[in-house]
Amino acid sequence: FNADFDGDQMAVHVPLSVEAQLEAKILMMSTNNVLSPSNGKPLMTPTQDMVLGLYWITRETEGARGENKIFSNRQEVVTAYDHGKVDLHAKIHVRLDPGKALVETTVGRAILSLIVPEEVPYSAINRQLKKKQMAELIDTAYRTAGNIKTVRMLDEMKNLGYRFATRAGFSISMMDMVIPEEKHGLLSRAQLEINRINTEYQEGAITDGERYNQVIDVWAKTTEKIAEKMLGGLSKGMVDAEDQTEKVNSIFMMADSGARGSNQQMKQLAGMRGLMAKPSGEIIETPILANFREGLNVLEYFISTHGARKGLADTALKTANSGYLTRRLVDVAQDTVITQHDCGTLDGIDMTALIESGEIIEALGDRVLGRVVLEDVIDPLDENNVIVEAGHELTEAEVKLIEEAGIEKIRVRSILTCIADHGACRLCYGRDLAHGHLVNMGESVGVIAAQSIGEPGTQLTMRTFHIGGTASRRAEQNTWDARFSGLLRFEDLKEVRDRDNNLIVLGRRGEAVIVDQHGREKERRPLPLGAKLRKTAGDEVAQGDTIAEWDPFSIPIITDVSGFVKFVDLIEGETFREQVDEVTNLSRRVVKESPNHEKRPRILIMDADGNTVMRDNETQAEFSLPIKSELAVEHGREVHAGETLAKIPRELAKNKDITGGLPRVAELFEARVPKDQAIISEIDGIVEYGSDMKKKQRLVIRPEDSKGEEKEYLVPRGRHVTVHVGEFVRAGDPLIDGSPNPHDILAVKGTKALQNYLVNEVQQVYRLQGVTINDKHIEVIVRQMLRQVYVEDPGESTFLIGEIISKNEFNKQNKKLLEEGRAPARSKPILQGITKASLSTDSFIS
């Protein structure tokens, strides 16, 4: 827990009895803890100088001394190197084992292979090793050669790394920070672009908010380009004309090997420092053009310190929060222990690959590794071929088979569906990540889970500090280019053709999917409202084709019918105001909150006779205008389907920083209602507006075939309603912007959807920081949050209506009632935050 040796104090516990000593040795000895319990990857990996040394050993250089020599064994290579006949980086051919073929490798890699156990395939070493590859090598060694040999190898890697880092003689020179020649040109081009944006703003073509967003975008792109050029320049070695030796850039090698520093920091040394953020989180729109080698002027220096101080203040405050979160997590999960081998449940969860905006973030294989499968996994192309049988723990080899077979969904057992009375069972938990085999009886998985989630919390808080307030904002995306070739399909898509015969996306649920010839999904993307489609369904698309494009800075309100615009309740000075821009003297009409709550600004589309256009499903073409939206049409103007009636500017860009992160994790685990919560529909149906109230407007969802009750929702005025009249929504769809309330998800979509939501949302926060935690730890906590039920109807039991009781107790009583032939009780699941859940445990400890 972040103890260091600069004067920290702690209590020491001395194991006295022989048993205690033995247990301490087995459980706590460093050599028995090679893998991390939170994600199953090696904990002991070389760092800093060792990484640098091993990186240096495994480099290869063209034309080094002794290139293409042939050696009969590895010992010969070492002798030749010691006598200075070959260079460390020379490409050579070596026979690894007598009777085997020659292998093309380098001198350094042959030397390194002497300390690696023979079980490890040579291909694991025969490449340029960086920090990540070294972790993979240790992982491979652990899985193939076992604990003892791996630990021995680690020791040898340390010695070798230090020895060669010393021999290489790395140093940092001012000359290593090569500033790209293109920098000047790129900066002046960016400045021209900024001038163009400012002119547009002065002519009134864009608003101040849009101008700010675009300016920041231009600088973000320019910084990225300069960084690219700089990295490209650094990675090329220079050959010295006099003695033909290769000069390699030390700074680049330190960052590239993963020893110290990052691209982000190198960018600030030799590129440009880029955009900075104010302590409030807003981005200052004038970036720092200089880098550390050129030096900053007084203003730039001040802006830099401005952002850096916030980082330091945050760090101090958040360490405490993170520790407190860990404590609450341990408190709620500490009685989850493995108590039986198999609870006999027939239920599990479906695992698929995690896809976010078209990118596969986590492959299916990584997610199911070490889980027990619930049903036979069958090859989709050959039904008789069972890849893995039910009740079997997935190993690395089987996961590979599953990925090659192109399977997209697997049902696995999970602690979420475990029905063991106390604690959990071995099969539902699956692999013990710290040892790579099925979990042992009596393992305290709750505490491990709690600490695995809490431990990176402190790392997350430190993150702001390293980059020193440099705004890490990526250029906004405004097109979608296919990553794979295949056939294009659309799902749930509503579109309309505009004047120029372009297809414009109307609904919010539309998704584009690219499938290969077997019909397997390669990539899937949501299509934003107002996107212009470049391709139609059934088209063959090639990799890199543009499928859709949209405006990233505003959300449009688009008409789906043609006709004439009629303003309703749009009164100047009352429900909208003409904003005359001070700089440009041009006016824009922005909807504002009206003092008279009867007024509801909206646009109707009329036909030539002055009647409101009716859609096919008998709803009027009416579009409600939220506060802050900006009108794009005039009263009485003729519009064509697909035209934009108004625009809602997206919130000005804020920095995504873990300040949102740690509180977000706490918010999820405490099951708090988010402050701008989305309202979600409880039923499938068609949207209509009801009569308004003072502060709220009424949305009514009417079931399509008018069977069942309609539901009404009160929406605070001025919140952006994401659905329009006449749109069909499904249960669980959001009706207004915001983050969904987890309690609603439970009520509307059920337990599984909620579990999925919580696990993914927590993972998203950690993933943003580049921290990997296995899903099962989060599942352990979520299971504790859903342990209790609310009694709706006591039947003939001893429960009371509204009593909150543990699920196990409830099921036990019900089973007894059913056996006696009496009426069982009815309940609904409830979600409790971790603090509340920990109060109602049966455990004597908490």
What's the pLDDT score for residue 22?
A: 92
pLDDT of 290 > 90? The answer is no
Domain boundaries 26-168, CATH class:
mainly alpha
Confidence of residue 477 (pLDDT cuts 50, 70, 90): low
CA distance 365 to 369: 6
**DSSP code string of 31-82:** GG--B-TTTSSBS----HHHHHHHHHHT---TT-TTTT-EESSHHHHHHHHH
Tokens of 3: 């103890």
Rg, the chain, Cα only: 31
What's the pLDDT score for residue 85?
A: 85
Whether CATH 3.40.50.1100 fits 555-752: no
State pLDDT tens for residues 164-177: 989 888 888 888 88
Nearest to 668 by CA among 784, 829, 834, 780: 834
Fold of the CATH domain 479-550? OB fold (Dihydrolipoamide Acetyltransferase, E2P) (2.40.50)
CB atoms within 10 A of CB 244: 10
What are the structural domain ranges in the chain? Answer: 26-168, 181-248+259-272, 479-550, 555-752, 787-830
pLDDT of 730 > 90? The answer is no
388's CB contacts (< 8 A; 6+ apart) are 373, 376, 377, 394, 398, 401, 402
What's the pLDDT score for residue 777?
A: 92
pLDDT of 311 > 80? The answer is no
What's the pLDDT score for residue 242?
A: 53
487-520 exposure pattern, b = at least 16 Cβ within 10 A, e = fewer: bbbbeebbbbebeeeebbbbbbbbebbbbeeeee
Tokens of 549: 């494009």
Q: Mean per-residue pLDDT for 228-247?
A: 67
Report the predicted TM-score, pTM, of the whole model to 2 decimal places: 0.76
Confidence of residue 653 (pLDDT cuts 50, 70, 90): very low
What's the pLDDT score for residue 281?
A: 67
CA distance 445 to 429: 9
State pLDDT tens for residues 763-806: 888 887 778 899 999 999 999 999 899 999 888 888 899 888 88
CB atoms within 10 A of CB 222: 25
What's the pLDDT score for residue 158?
A: 92
Question: What's the distance, CA 524 to chain centroid?
Answer: 16
Confidence of residue 618 (pLDDT cuts 50, 70, 90): low
CA distance 601 to 250: 63
Confidence of residue 14 (pLDDT cuts 50, 70, 90): very high
Q: Mean per-residue pLDDT for 500-507?
A: 79
CA distance 352 to 362: 9
The most confident of the ranges 63-67, 189-193, 524-528 is 189-193
State pLDDT tens for residues 385-422: 888 888 888 888 888 888 887 787 888 999 988 888 88
What's the pLDDT score for residue 654?
A: 37
CA distance 87 to 759: 52
CATH architecture of 181-248+259-272: Orthogonal Bundle (1.10)
Are domains 181-248+259-272 and 555-752 of this chain identical in fold? Answer: no
What's the pLDDT score for residue 406?
A: 76
Query: Are 704 and 685 in contact, with CB atoms under 8 Å apart?
Result: yes
pLDDT of 16 > 90? The answer is yes
Handedness of CA 665, 666, 670, 671 (dihedral sign): negative
Q: Which of 293-302, 469-478, 532-541, 662-671 has the lowest mean pLDDT?
A: 469-478
8's CB contacts (< 8 A; 6+ apart) are none
Q: Which of 344-348, 458-462, 719-723 has the lowest mean pLDDT?
A: 458-462
